[in-house]
Amino acid sequence: MNKTEYLNRLSNELGHMPYGDVKDIIQSIEEHFDEGLGEGRSEEEIAESLGDPKELAMEFKDGVKFNQIMKKRKRLKDYTGPDGRGRIFVIVFNAFVGIELWLVLLAAIVAAFMFLAGDAGIIGVIVASMILGKITEFLVPFIFLVLTLICVAVFLVVLLFLGIKYYIKGLKSYIRWNKNVWNYGLGED
């Protein structure tokens, strides 16, 4: 595929991105083609080194910059195979630290759910008792207790929402990091 074909396909794949971003990306790719041609490479070789325009567009849509993409492609091109040290590190790290940490965080989220359920049960019992007229002597302290428990419940709901959200984000990043170390090793010596 030549330069014009490549740029047209890439432009089509970038589709819904803002016009200014697409213009900057196309300009960067044109400069890359010009540098490659100046080094004596053909348009086809340069297009092949950039990879599939659809995959390149996906990386740009994910917010990756051109220089980062080219470094990654160079690393993959120079890649000789998995590093045994990286695989051993992933296994040992997960066995002694990683899995336990994520289980403790999950247990904290489950405990907060249990506390929230208990809080809701207590509120229900107290409110039902007040409605049925069973609590008359200590009505004011029970009202304050219910209000306090409602505030705690609201706080826990917000805390659980954020906890679950960031637990999932962190777990995804952790899995991605594990895959990267497993596949590419620990990096340079």
Handedness of CA 124, 129, 135, 136 (dihedral sign): positive
Q: Are 59 and 13 in contact (CB under 8 A)?
A: no
CB 50 within 8 A of CB 6: yes
Residue-range domain boundaries for the chain:
3-78, 84-184
pLDDT at 69: 64
DSSP 94: I
What's residue 37's pLDDT? 85
Write down the residue that tokens 């007229």 correspond to. Answer: 133
| CA–CA gap between residue 10 and residue 50 (Å, rounded) | 11
Sign of the dihedral through C-alpha 32, 75, 49, 11:
negative
Tell me the mean pLDDT per 10 residues along the chain, length 189. Answer: 85 80 83 85 83 80 65 55 71 83 86 85 80 73 80 85 86 84 67
